[in-house]
Amino acid sequence: MEKITSLAKRRGFVYQSSEIYGGQNGAWDYGPLGVELKNRIAGAWWKEMTRLHDNIVGLDAAILMHPRTWEASGHVENFTDPLVDCKKCKSRFRADQIPQENLAAKKCPDCGGELTDTRKFNLMFKTHIGPAEDTASIIYLRPETAQGIYVNYKNIIQSNRMKIPFGIAQIGKAFRNEIVTKNFIFRTCEFEQMEMQYFVKPGTDEEWFTEWRKQRWAYYEKLGIKMDHLRWHQHGPDELAHYAKDAYDIEYLFPMGWRELEGVHNRTDYDLGRHTQFSGKDLQYIDQDNNNERYIPYIIETSAGLTRNLLMVLCDAYDEEQVAEKGNDDDWRTVLRFHPDLAPVTVAILPLMKKDGLAELAQDIRKELKEDYATDYDQAGAIGRRYRRQDEAGTPFCVTVDYQSKEDGTVTLRFRDSMEQVRVPKAELSARIRSEIKTYKRIK
């Protein structure tokens, strides 16, 4: 993880928030390569969950919601972690994450000092709206994007004539006052989620739950993620969230071990039932194709962390290998083997020399490719070093412009993973890259 954190900073994927002030715990900033990678991951998810499904539509709901939302959802009452403090070293722990013998003996696992009693700590960030800081103006930063979907479910049925089963997808920020934020961007106080809520008829929920588990697994396979680094974990009765009848996590083998990447939850009619109760509005679905049968739909939720997916994609892509590209056996390279659909830069254009018109020719080629691909241009330093820089950024294709290019209009296309190089007429470059992306198979 240290290597990944350091690469992420060095190459502009992720920086510590407010670093010049000593950093802000639980918050991170996404640099030029990071924001591109994050947008690509979000784009791949959005395509998968909306464009490829005729019955799933999108939504972008506000972060600030009516405070009654969070009473109805159960978050005010239940969204808590058990917290203990060490009276001596002042360390703070989640009581469920320290050895039970320490908890029973009230002994700090770090310094052996005395621990406080366990108390419940609500993870929602509370703030005030309006000028007066009284309780009437309390408002929360949303701890999950899901509730914005539930409170809009009737609007969407009416505006888009949706029929059950159907889904609503959303990507957006969520906030949790996490007690322990470590392992880089794995668990943070400000993060992004990619959630899809699928509304189904009660009684068909288990079938759809199985179907969505299958689809979410296939999604990671399609993105070329190492499938032996993924596994399922079913929640036991003591792990289930207050709204869930059944839940499975997709876990990824991060450098610190197996950890949750995404959850698939059967939320039953809990949320819409509670919003009916708290808002006084009728949130039943009326099945016009079935004698106007009325019911509160069950909800199957797929909930993935976008920023956590970014960490997974970085870990999964990271590789170091000994290469002999320039006949030097001791040469090592760090390479990010991103799927080309996710890579922040798809193609880098590199003139062999700055002089003799090669730079101008390379700029012309970049101008043409820009319309179709995210490009980079680098004319500084030896060509081998420039390839290494692109490998580290995860750029799947490099185009090198040399003296032969001036004579016969061909360029060198270099592949990141195999380091193989082929000569391609520049007029065919764009189509060749498109076909390479379409047929991409991870080799390592």
Contacts with ligand GAP by CB under 6 A lie at 144, 146, 176, 178, 187-188, 191, 193, 195, 260-263, 301, 303-305, 307-308
Q: Shortest approach of ligand GAP to residue 29 CB, angstroms?
A: 15
- 261 versus 399: smaller Cβ distance to ligand GAP: 261
- 240 versus 359: smaller Cβ distance to ligand GAP: 240
- 254 versus 338: smaller Cβ distance to ligand GAP: 254
Q: Shortest approach of ligand GAP to residue 247 CB, angstroms?
A: 8
At 195, give phi and psi (nearest 5°): -120, 145
Question: CA–CA separation, 313 vs 226, rounded Å?
Answer: 10
Q: Shortest approach of ligand GAP to residue 260 CB, angstroms?
A: 5
- 46 versus 377: smaller Cβ distance to ligand GAP: 46
Q: Shortest approach of ligand GAP to residue 84 CB, angstroms?
A: 19
- 313 versus 365: smaller Cβ distance to ligand GAP: 313
- Among residues 65, 248, 50, the alpha carbon closest in space to that of 150 is found at 65
Kindly state the tokens that stand for 438.
Answer: 């379409």
- 308 versus 426: smaller Cβ distance to ligand GAP: 308
- 191 versus 397: smaller Cβ distance to ligand GAP: 191
Q: Shortest approach of ligand GAP to residue 11 CB, angstroms?
A: 22
Q: Shortest approach of ligand GAP to residue 102 CB, angstroms?
A: 24
Q: Shortest approach of ligand GAP to residue 380 CB, angstroms?
A: 36
- 258 versus 440: smaller Cβ distance to ligand GAP: 258
Q: Shortest approach of ligand GAP to residue 200 CB, angstroms?
A: 17
Say if strands 331-336 and 318-323 run parallel, antiparallel, or are unpaired: antiparallel
Residue nearest to ligand GAP (CB): 305
Whose tokens are 């784009």? That residue is 43
